[in-house]
Amino acid sequence: MTIAIFTFSLLGAMAIGMPIAFALLICGVALMASLDIFDSQIVAQNVINGADSFPLMAVPFFMLAGELMNRGGLASRIVNVAMAVVGHMRGGLGYVAILAACILSSLSGSAAADAAALAALVVPMMVAAGHSKRHAAGLVAASGVIGPVIPPSIGFVLFGVVGNVSISKLFLAGIVPGLLIGLGLCVAWWWVVRGEKLEQGPRQSLKEVARAVIDGFWALMLPAIIIVGLRFGVFTPTEAAAVVAVYSLFVATCIYRELKFSELYEVFAAAAVTTGVVMLLVAAALVSSWLITVAEISTQVVDLLRPFMGNQTMLLIAIMVLVVIVGTALDMTPTILILTPVLMPIIREAGIDPVYFGVLFIINNSIGLVTPPVGIVLNVVCGVSKISMEEIIKGVTPFMIAQLVVLFLLVLFPILVTGPARWLAG
C-alpha cells in the first residue's frame, strides 16, 4: 500500500505540472498522512537537513566552474587540442567531439554545460564538413553523457551523500568507465559515417599540435590536478570543487583574459540559479528519503526483487532496466535522489560493492539525459543546434545504443570497474 501511495502521489503531482521539488514534498506529506504521523515541523526540519551537508558544497563550485570554463575560453582551447590531434581522421570532427567531451568532463562535471559548449563549437563545423546535422547533434548530445561519469561529477556527489558512499572512491572508479563510454561512441561514430563521402582534413604537423597543446596547457592541467589531488589525499572532493572553481576563475581572467571582470556578476548569477534548483531538489528529496525508511518501502521493494537476490548479475540487470525506464520520465538529479535510498539497502543485502553499483547507477542515469522526452542534454543540444526534437532523436539513437552496450558489459564484467578503481585508490 505504501509503495502505491509513494508512486501515485509523486507521479500525480508531476502529471499536473508541479515542479519536481514540490512533488517530492507532496509525496512525503502523503506518506506521513497515510502513516498518521504528519507533523509540519518534521517536514521543515528534514528540508533544512537535506541542504545542510558539507559534501554538497561541491555542487555550487562545480556549477560555477562550468560557467567559467565556457565563458573563459577553456572549452574552446580543449576543442582546438582535440582538433589538432584527431581532426585529420575520416569523420575526424566526430572524434574531436568525443575527445573534447572526455576532457571537458574532467573540468565541470555538468553534462548540460559540456554539451552546450560542444554544440555551439563543433556542430556548425561538422555540418560544414558535410556531416548530417542530426548525426552531428546526436553525437554531441551523447558525448555529454560522459560528463557525469568522469570526475569531478555532481551525480557522484549526490549519490555519495544520499547513499552514504565514499565520494573519493566513486570519483576514481568513474574514470575508466567514462573512457569506455567514449570508446563505445567512437565505434558507433565509425559505423554511422562509414558510408558518407567525406573529405579528410590535413594532418597537423607536430609543431601545430604542440602549439595547440601549449595554448591549451592551463586548461589541460586541471584534470591532472584533480586526479593527483584525490589520489594522494591532498584534498577532499568538496575541496576539489573549490580548487576547480578558483583555478578556472584565475585562468579565465588572468591568463586567457577572455572573461572580463565586468562579466563575473552574470556568470555567478547563472551558477547561483542552477545551484538553487539542484539544492532545492536535494532538500525536498530528504523528506521522501526519511519517509521511505520509516514506511519500510525498501523492505517491500526487496521482497519484490527477492527472486533475483541470489544472482547479483540478474539483480543488477533488473535494476538497470528499471532505471532506464524511470530515466525516460525523470531527470538525473531527482532519479538519484528518489531511487538511491530505495535501492541501497537492496544492494547491501545482496553483497554488491556500493562503489561499483554507484558507477553503474550514475552511468544509467546519465544515459537518461539523452532519452526523450525529458532528457535535459537532448533539449539543450536541440536548442543550441536549432534542430527539431524528432531529428535529434533519430540522430542520437545509435550512440545511445552504444552506451547501453557498454553499460551491459560493465554489468557482466565488474572487473572493468573494480579493477581500475582499486589500482587508482592504491
Q: Among residues 50, 150, 110, 48, which one has the least CA distance to residue 271?
A: 110
**Rounded mean pLDDT, 259-269:** 89
Residue 36 contacts by C-beta under 8 Å, 6 or more apart in sequence?
none
Residue that is written with C-alpha cell 522526452 in the block: 373
Given a cut of 70, whether residue 107 has pLDDT beyond it is no
List alpha helices for 295-353, DSSP H.
297-304, 312-327, 332-349
Q: How far apart are CA 381 and CA 389, in angstroms?
A: 10
Residue that is written with C-alpha cell 539513437 in the block: 397
Are 388 and 395 in contact by the 8 Å Cβ rule? The answer is no
pLDDT recorded at residue 44: 80
Q: How far apart are CA 223 and CA 216, in angstroms?
A: 12
Burial label, 4 (beta-carbon count in 10 A; 0-12, 13-18, 19+): exposed
Residue 93 contacts by C-beta under 8 Å, 6 or more apart in sequence?
83, 87, 122, 125, 126, 129, 131, 136
**Rounded mean pLDDT, 256-267:** 88
Residue 401 contacts by C-beta under 8 Å, 6 or more apart in sequence?
188
SS3 131: coil
**Rounded mean pLDDT, 123-140:** 84
The number of C-alpha atoms within 13 Å of 170 and in the hemisphere containing its C-beta is: 28
pLDDT recorded at residue 299: 66
Q: How far apart are CA 290 and CA 292, in angstroms?
A: 5
pLDDT in tens, 113-125: 677 777 777 888 7
Q: What is the mean pLDDT of the chain?
A: 82
Element housing 363 (H / E): helix 354-367
With bands split at pLDDT 50, 70 and 90, how would you rate the model's confidence at 64?
A: confident
Question: Which residues in 3-69 belong to E strands, given as ranges?
Answer: none
Are 151 and 368 in contact by the 8 Å Cβ rule? The answer is no
Q: How far apart are CA 87 and CA 95, in angstroms?
A: 7
Q: How far apart are CA 65 and CA 110, in angstroms?
A: 9
Between 176-190, 297-311, 383-397, the lowest mean confidence (pLDDT) is in 297-311
Is the preceding omega at residue 223 within 30 degrees of 0, hence cis? no
Q: Averaging pLDDT over each range in 74-83, 91-100, 203-212, 355-364, which range is the top one?
A: 355-364
pLDDT recorded at residue 18: 78
SS3 89: coil
Distance from chain centroid for Cα 204: 32
pLDDT recorded at residue 244: 83
Dihedral-angle region of residue 169 (phi above 0 means left; psi in -120 to 50 means alpha; beta otherwise): alpha
Are 365 and 332 in contact by the 8 Å Cβ rule? The answer is yes
Q: Among residues 7, 5, 21, which one has the least CA distance to residue 337?
A: 21
Are 184 and 177 in contact by the 8 Å Cβ rule? The answer is no
With bands split at pLDDT 50, 70 and 90, how would you rate the model's confidence at 179?
A: very high
pLDDT recorded at residue 353: 94
Q: How many residues are recorded in the chain?
A: 426
Q: Among residues 393, 397, 398, which one has the least CA distance to residue 382?
A: 393
pLDDT recorded at residue 411: 95
Q: Averaging pLDDT over each range in 165-169, 201-205, 235-239, 381-385, which range is the top one?
A: 165-169
